[in-house]
Amino acid sequence: MAHRPYIVGNWKMNGSRAALAEARAIDRGAQRYKDVSVALAPPFPLLGLLREEVTTIGVGGQDCHTAAKGAHTGDVSAAMLADIGADFVIVGHSERRRDHGETDALVQAKAQAALVSGLGVIVCVGETLAERDTGQAEAVVAAQIDGSLPDDAAAHDAALLGRLSVAYEPVWAIGTGRVAAVDDVVAMHAAIGARLAARFGDAAAKMRILYGGSVNGDNAAALLAAPGVRGALVGGASLTADAFLPIVAAASSGEG
Ligand code: 13P
């Protein structure tokens, strides 16, 4: 089952209680595609509510603190996410690296904390346009992989269980409508896969590498059919069932 494609909607800082109706519709729709793993990561205030509304899809957070509890005003721990029934957490999204100055070392510590709490983890990496234009994309992403992925015994166990995933999200493709060329995605996923194999050995084969950046119902089939692409991390097109379910359908073999 580790090879089931993984389609994750990242709602970012969007959605109110009214959006729970979309989550319910996504959950109902996902039941038609049993060969696809579908999940949503809503903002924290909706997480517990959304968890209660869905039965089929996974539910996750968009960030967590490195500590389990304590004096960290405004933060949320991985243990708290696990306690309200979250299945996973996204760490190291480029918007957090940008808005909150998150470093590779901090992202790695967050991922470790999440694994300790029993959550699956999606670690995000991706280059800026300037880095791509100057030929540094693969080097930048390799450094992010080396610095942001956890490397302790728990990480190796999680990798083997398919609970540790990487999302390749070129920063210039996020929210811009400018999707990366399939050839470039294939090349980067291969480079990431090689990097993961160097660290995790055979377990790397169980780790899903997702593509993210302007994925929608029109481009999903081509991206998801590309070698090495094991799923998608979707922003804008995950906010409604009408936009998100065609992406889930594109990931399905059609056998339901
Ligand atoms: P968009 O799909 O809106 O480009 O966002 C991608 C993303 O950042 C998902 O985490």
Residue 44 pLDDT greater than 80, yes or no: yes
Minimum-distance ligand 1 atom for the alpha carbon of 167: 10
**Range of 70's domain?**
6-251
pLDDT confidence of 1, banded at 50, 70, 90? very low
Classify residue 1: in a domain, yes or no: no
CA–CA dist 118, 51 (Å, integer): 17
pLDDT of residue 254: 72
Closest CA to 238 of 38, 35, 5: 38
Cα-to-chain-centroid distance, residue 32: 22
Long-range contacts made by residues 180-184, C-beta under 8 angstroms, separation at least 24?
180/211, 180/213, 182/222, 182/223, 182/226
pLDDT confidence of 3, banded at 50, 70, 90? confident
Residue 43 pLDDT greater than 60, yes or no: yes
Which residues does a 6 A CB cutoff place in the pocket of ligand 1? 10, 93, 169, 174-175, 212-215, 233-237
Mutate to test the pocket of ligand 1, among 174, 210, 214, 224 (most ligand atoms within 8 A of CB): 174
Distance from the alpha carbon of residue 108 to the mean position of ligand 1, in angstroms? 21
Residue 2 pLDDT greater than 70, yes or no: no
Mutate to test the pocket of ligand 1, among 125, 214, 224 (most ligand atoms within 8 A of CB): 214
Placement of tokens 């992202």 in the chain: 107
Classify residue 152: in a domain, yes or no: yes
The structural domain count of the chain equals: 1
As a whole number, mean pLDDT of residues 64-78 equals 98
Classify residue 13: in a domain, yes or no: yes
Residue 90 pLDDT greater than 50, yes or no: yes
CATH number of the domain that residue 205 is part of: 3.20.20.70
The overall average pLDDT reported for the chain is 96
pLDDT of residue 255: 56
Residue 9 pLDDT greater than 90, yes or no: yes
Which residues are tagged catalytic? 93, 169
As a whole number, mean pLDDT of residues 138-144 equals 98
Classify residue 96: in a domain, yes or no: yes
